[in-house]
Each structure stands twice: as C-alpha cells, then as structure tokens.
Amino acid sequence: MTTRPTRRALLAATAAVVALPGLAHAQARAPAPPIAPPKSLAVALTARDAADVVRIETYLDGLQRLKSRFLQIAPDGRTAEGAAWLERPGRMRFQYDPPVPLLLVAGHGLVVFHDSELNQTTNIPIGRTPLGMLLAEHVKFSGDVTLTAIERQPNLIAVSLVRTASPGDGTLTLVFNDNPLSLRQWSVLDAQSRETRVTLFNIQLGGAAPDPKLFEFVGGM
C-alpha cells in the first residue's frame, strides 16, 4: 500500500526532483554543511564505456518529447505519483496526483515550483539544477558536465553526472534500459547524500507537440 508522505518529506523530495536549493531543506533544522568535493570527479573510461557514453549522448540528443506516469520515492522511502511531460530542449512538467498540492514546471529558462495549498511559488534558473543537464539543447558529458560514474546491470546502464563548476548542486544519475536504449529512471543525490528517485512508466515517445501552455505557470493554477 502506498504511504502518503509527510508534508516535510514531500516538499524535500519534490524539490529534489530538480534539486532546488533551499526547498530541498524546507522546514529542516540546520542541515549539515556539504562535504568538499575532490579536485577531480571524472571517471576513467574504458573503450566500452566511451562507446556507451556516445550512444547515450546520441539517444538523449534525439529525445524530443516524452509523456509518462511517474513514481517518486523520497529519501525516507515514501512515495508520490503523477504525470510527467518532457520536451527538449528546456521544458518539463511534473503534475502530482491529488491530494498532493505540488507542481513543477520548467520553461523559458526557469524551473517553477508551486504549492497551491500554501499559495507559494519559487523560481530558479534551470541551469542551476541537475536536470538542466538532461534538458539542455545538446547533451555532452564533458566540459560543463562531468561524468562521475558508469554502471551496468543486466539490460540496464546508468550514468552519474555533476555540473563541473558546481558539483555540490547535486548528482544526477540517469538509468536506461539497454537494447534498445530508453530512459527509465533518474535520481538526484543531494549534498547530504539523500536520494530522491523518479521512475517513469507508461511512457509515450514523440507524437504531436503539446500545447506550449503546458510548460508555463499561471498564478492560481
């Protein structure tokens, strides 16, 4: 049976979907300071790793539209569900099922987090969020992005990424089904090593372009 999260856990986990600074620690007491990252986080790649990285970059560059259901698992194990839309570059919507009063919308270079119950809205530049790496116009795991790990399990492959200039913003791990390659899941690990995981299901790729208003936030929604 799905356990409804407490409001504090839900706020933190929802914020961590895109790792919104501050919101991820909403109502928390004196969070521990982040551990300073090592000088180099980059992982050494084998020939197989390098080939898989190119495959994943090419796949993500070609991923224009996605609609799905999602299951979010908070760091305390509690869950929430909803509908997700992704349109690259730069647009995303996470609409939580009632009675959860939360909405995340990415568009026009911003991520908007809205709590309809409290009538509170927070904006942050998408470039300051780990998911901005996924929504970028061109996906490249070098330069502004550092690949920190690549892992494989039967029919699964995962890559972990940080922003090179600000690794403390959080680690984004993308998990793919392999053969054929398809995005299945992502997780965000914050500076306190708390993980929020989002699994996609009932995925629909491509199709007609959604209404642009889907990726806009209008006060009072």
Q: What is the CATH number of the domain that holds 97?
A: 2.50.20.10
1 part of a folded domain: no
211 part of a folded domain: no
Q: Where are the alpha helices (DSSP H) in the chain?
A: 7-17, 47-62, 132-135
Give the pLDDT confidence of 78-116 residue by residue, as tens digits.
889 999 999 988 899 999 999 888 899 998 888 888 888
pTM of the model: 0.80
pLDDT bracket for residue 182 (50, 70, 90): very high
Strand order of the β-sheet with 182-189 is: 120-125, 110-115, 102-107, 91-96, 79-87, 65-73, 195-205, 182-189, 171-177, 156-163, 145-153
32-46, 112-126, 187-201: least confident range: 32-46
143 part of a folded domain: yes
What average pLDDT score do residues 40-58 get? Answer: 88
34 part of a folded domain: no
51 part of a folded domain: yes
Structurally, the chain folds into a number of domains equal to 1
117 part of a folded domain: yes
65 part of a folded domain: yes
* Segment holding 195, helix H or strand E: strand 195-205
Q: Domain range holding 139?
A: 7-26+41-205
